[in-house]
A and B are shown apart, each in its own frame.
Chain A
Amino acid sequence: MTRLLTVLARTLLAAWLLAFAGHALAIDSQKAFEDPALQARYEHINRELRCLVCQNQTIADSNATLAQDLRREVKEMIAAGKSDDEIREFMIARYGDFVLYRPRLTATNFLLWAAPVLLLLIGSFIGIRYIRRQAAEVDTDSPEAGQS
């Protein structure tokens, strides 16, 4: 049991280190900002914006020219004192919601967001009705059927 726990802890540690290493490996050869807080914001925003050319990468991962240009825009907007939301709005105005890796809740995709809850509700409704009906059937059955 303790051996299993040790293995588990080691695996988790390795996974954590790997994830951390991924963050340290930014694609820019130089830091965009000296200030670590600004650099952290810069990297965080880049990781949330889609590279439109290479669509399954963020602009933090891609070295496509457009991704480089978009990183430059992000850098300049941070330097100009724009908030994270303002930078996101800038990108959405030009490239639409698709540019966001974490989609917002909008009128168009509301059903998609609500679907899990709706399906759960419908499923529970059907399930409860089924169980109730079964229970009712057992009640009215002969004693033998109730024992099985």
Chain B
Amino acid sequence: MNNWLKFALPFALFAALGVFLFVGLQRDPSYVPSPLIGKPAPEFTLPSLQDAAYTVSTNDLRGRPWVLNLWGTWCGGCRQEHDTLIAIARSNVVPMIGLNWKDDNVAAQEWLRALGNPYSAVAEDAEGRAAIDWGVYGAPETFLIGPDGTVLFKHIAPMTMEVWTKEFLPRIRAAQAGAPASQG
């Protein structure tokens, strides 16, 4: 019995180590989990990209789920996901708010004119302060916020239809079902 253990124990330990290392290989080391999930969404009130006389505020969005998409014309991944965002906006499930991060105002407006505007409103974060409050470290990032103002989900990297249907839609449905009274 002791001899059998002498063989099996190192082998089992090595196998366990191998499993850990193999799982570690599948992970993306540049992915930083957000501490914001399940916490109240950071508030901002910023000038609207198209007209600085108007503001876009997180306070206006209470009572329904909404999506915050962080983008900039300098960001390649944002161009990549743009058509997907347009398709999502057409499905008209939730309002999508754009947060234009450290961008050139004219270039950003031109981008929306040329490629189409998927956003209900775009807030201009010229100094990047709102982005820091949201723990943003690379565009594009997309957040889902619940009707009670908590952050439900965060997707880092360009949005795809697969991520939208698998991760966002079920959570939106659940949020809408969970808080029908607070609509409006």
Contacts and interface: CB of A to CB of B under 8 A. Distances in A.
Interface residues of B, number: 18
B102 A65 contact: yes
A96 B137 contact: no
A98 B138 CA distance: 15
B153 interface: no
Contacts of A94: 35-36, 132-135
Contacts, number: 40
B165 interface: no
Contact of B35 (A69, A70, A73, A92): A92
- B interface, by DSSP: helix, strand, loop or mixed? loop
A53 B135 contact: no
B32 interface: yes
28 contacts: A52-B137, A52-B138, A53-B137, A65-B128, A66-B128, A66-B137, A69-B102, A69-B127, A69-B128, A69-B132, A70-B132, A73-B129, A92-B35, A93-B35, A94-B35, A94-B36, A94-B132, A94-B133, A94-B134, A94-B135, A95-B32, A95-B35, A95-B135, A95-B137, A96-B32, A96-B135, A98-B32, A98-B33
Interface of A: 52-53, 55, 65-66, 69-70, 73, 92-96, 98
Q: Which 5 A-B pairs have the closest CB atoms?
A: A52-B137, A94-B135, A96-B35, A69-B128, A95-B135
